[in-house]
Structure 1
Amino acid sequence: MKALQIAASGMAAQQMRVDVVSNNLANMSTTGYNARRADFADLHYDQIARPGSISAADGSVLPTGVQLGMGVRPSAVSVVLAQGTPTQTNGDLDVAIEGKGYLEVTLPSGGAAYTRDGALQRTADGLIVTSEGYQVAPGITIPSDAHSISINANGEVYAYFADQVDPQQLGQLTLTGFANEKGLEAIGSNLFVETPASGNPLTGTPGLEGLGVLRQGYLEESSVDAVREVTELIKAQRGYELNAKVITAADQMLSATTGLR
């Protein structure tokens, strides 16, 4: 009897679904977080009688055959690409990305990572970094005597000084896009790194070449829909219970078989 293994695979799938939902709900307040979705695929089939084969009884072609499924397996946990709601913070270095693209940061190893978390900070030396302390490319330093900072939609960073009427441009923030954003690898701390599945990074000016624009004084909220996640949680719970009932039924059938004299 294969029902035990099939139902067990169903219970494992629903457990993984709950894990994904719980991670989404845990990140409801994470800046720039995109919800994840668990995707599943059926396992291989036991071909008892292949469709189109010749029946041994009368030589006719079987129209459907007998294919017994062996259960389910996780195929992917994909990112649901959706724009989070921009929330006004009025912070000089808070920037929300409106549209596609990621800010590039430099990891301690020297490699590049990418984030949509625009809650930027400045170091004691004036260098613009993320909240985790990673330098934001291309490496802009704010002078200590600047009394305010302005970042326009195209990523140009300006500093205002008390003894100057016109602002001084400090540099240009860029955005990076990917052919397949879902192929990026999440490494935690709101960071992603490129993979062969994501394609090569394409860096450009915000607002050009399909990239989004920057909104100073705003942060992008998580795109998690609490109602949808709770609905998914209920569906996963019911699916788990139904598969558990199949295991109970299969166990009862095996018990009846072993009780035969």
Structure 2
Amino acid sequence: MTSSALHVARTGLDAQDVKMRVIANNLANVNTVGFKRDRANFETLAYQQVIAAGTQADSQNRLAIGLNLGTGVQLTGTERIDTQGTMNTTGNTYDLAIEGAGFFQLQQPDGTIAYTRAGNFKTNAEGVLVSPDGLPLVPQIQLPEGVSAVTIGNDGTVSATVAGQKEPVELGAIETARFVNPAGLQAVGGNLLLETAASGAPQVGAAGLEGRGTIRQGALEQSNVNTVEELVTMIETQRAYEIASKMIKATDEMLQYVNQQL
């Protein structure tokens, strides 16, 4: 029984250690553009059924309850919480934020598409809109030389005043993608997410249509991490870790007592 208690307490230590790591990552990214906080989810391990409920107690009665002993806890996964982050108005022409569901599409060096909520775009030497890491938007938006007064509409339409033209010229449109299960996207770092079997296929199109959010120019979506909430959760996790540690110490003292007395 005591050795089982040691095992259960150990699973508790492992679980709280993982939860603390998730909290630490959330707090580390509190100022990361478009970051969505993670939550660690747990479930009970298999139960040992010593006496089944409903077992015959005597010739006329059955047990109303049984005897089941839990064997601990395990991590089921980390869930990304996709609530909207606070909008920070920057006034920068190429800072974009999505209000609502959806992701910007970026082309990786191997040709695959990655998805992001971080809209702090720049222009490279060819005038192409790219992420800070140099990944171009999909579809590609290229600004010609002498362009000025770039405007990006709520539906992603990009227009600008070009040298030699009196009226604004449409240069293309930024499309966004949404997923049936955005929490199923795989985070790979660099503010990038990848499609998985759990996320479903991307539904790509103009912003503001078919459930996709609208694009807001001159603003950035901030991290949705609530510092106060994370700190409270961190304290709760620390206390739970201490309790599991004390359980191990208490069980060890019980074993020492038995060894000394018997």
How far, CA to CA, are the matches of 2:25 and 2:60 in structure 1?
Answer: 55
Q: Percent identity?
A: 38
- The Cα of 1:230 is off from its aligned counterpart by 0.1
- Could you give the per-residue CA deviations for residues 194-221 of structure 1, whole angstroms, max 9, x where no partner exists? 1000001100110110110000000000
- The Cα of 1:143 is off from its aligned counterpart by 0.5
Q: 1:175-214 counterparts in 2 under 5 A?
A: 175-214=176-215
Secondary structure (helix, strand or coil) at the match of 1:21 reads helix
How far, CA to CA, are the matches of 1:162 and 1:110 in structure 2?
Answer: 33
2:26 corresponds to which of 15, 24, 27: 24
How far, CA to CA, are the matches of 1:185 and 1:63 in structure 2?
Answer: 46
2:73 maps to what in 1?
Answer: 72
2:151 maps to what in 1?
Answer: 150
Contiguous gaps of at least 5 residues in structure 2:
none
2:41 maps to what in 1?
Answer: 39
When residues 49 and 92 of structure 1 are mapped into structure 2, their CA distance, relative to the original with a 3 A threshold, is same
Matched, 1:94 2:95: yes
How far, CA to CA, are the matches of 2:29 and 2:139 in structure 1?
Answer: 29
Secondary structure (helix, strand or coil) at the match of 1:20 reads helix
Residue identity matched to 1:81: D
The two structures have a TM-score, normalised by structure 1, of 0.97
- Could you give the per-residue CA deviations for residues 35-72 of structure 1, whole angstroms, max 9, x where no partner exists? 111111010001101222333x5563222100000000
Secondary structure (helix, strand or coil) at the match of 2:200 reads coil
When residues 254 and 58 of structure 1 are mapped into structure 2, their CA distance, relative to the original with a 3 A threshold, is farther
- Could you give the per-residue CA deviations for residues 146-168 of structure 1, whole angstroms, max 9, x where no partner exists? 02311010100012134433111
Matched, 1:6 2:35: no
1:53 maps to what in 2?
Answer: 55
Secondary structure (helix, strand or coil) at the match of 1:148 reads strand
Does the Cα contact within 8 Å between 2:162 and 2:168 map onto a contact in 1?
A: yes
Secondary structure (helix, strand or coil) at the match of 2:216 reads strand
Residue identity matched to 1:37: R
How far, CA to CA, are the matches of 1:188 and 1:148 in structure 2?
Answer: 33
How far, CA to CA, are the matches of 1:144 and 1:58 in structure 2?
Answer: 94
How far, CA to CA, are the matches of 1:30 and 1:70 in structure 2?
Answer: 39
- The Cα of 1:127 is off from its aligned counterpart by 1.0
Matched, 1:231 2:245: no
Secondary structure (helix, strand or coil) at the match of 2:188 reads strand
Q: 1:218-257 counterparts in 2 under 5 A?
A: 218-257=219-258
The two structures have a TM-score, normalised by structure 2, of 0.97
How far, CA to CA, are the matches of 1:210 and 1:219 in structure 2?
Answer: 20
Residue identity matched to 1:255: Q
Does the Cα contact within 8 Å between 2:98 and 2:213 map onto a contact in 1?
A: yes
Secondary structure (helix, strand or coil) at the match of 1:231 reads helix
How far, CA to CA, are the matches of 1:54 and 1:209 in structure 2?
Answer: 59
Secondary structure (helix, strand or coil) at the match of 2:261 reads coil
RMSD, matched Cα: 1.1
Secondary structure (helix, strand or coil) at the match of 1:257 reads helix
2:104 maps to what in 1?
Answer: 103
Does the Cα contact within 8 Å between 2:150 and 2:159 map onto a contact in 1?
A: yes
- The Cα of 1:131 is off from its aligned counterpart by 0.9
Secondary structure (helix, strand or coil) at the match of 1:258 reads helix
- Could you give the per-residue CA deviations for residues 93-146 of structure 1, whole angstroms, max 9, x where no partner exists? 110000000011111111111001100111101111111111100011101210
2:133 maps to what in 1?
Answer: 132
Residue identity matched to 2:173: Q
How far, CA to CA, are the matches of 1:76 and 1:109 in structure 2?
Answer: 28
- The Cα of 1:178 is off from its aligned counterpart by 0.3
- The Cα of 1:32 is off from its aligned counterpart by 0.3
Residue identity matched to 1:45: Y
How far, CA to CA, are the matches of 1:69 and 1:59 in structure 2?
Answer: 30
How far, CA to CA, are the matches of 1:135 and 1:224 in structure 2?
Answer: 27
How far, CA to CA, are the matches of 1:107 and 1:163 in structure 2?
Answer: 35
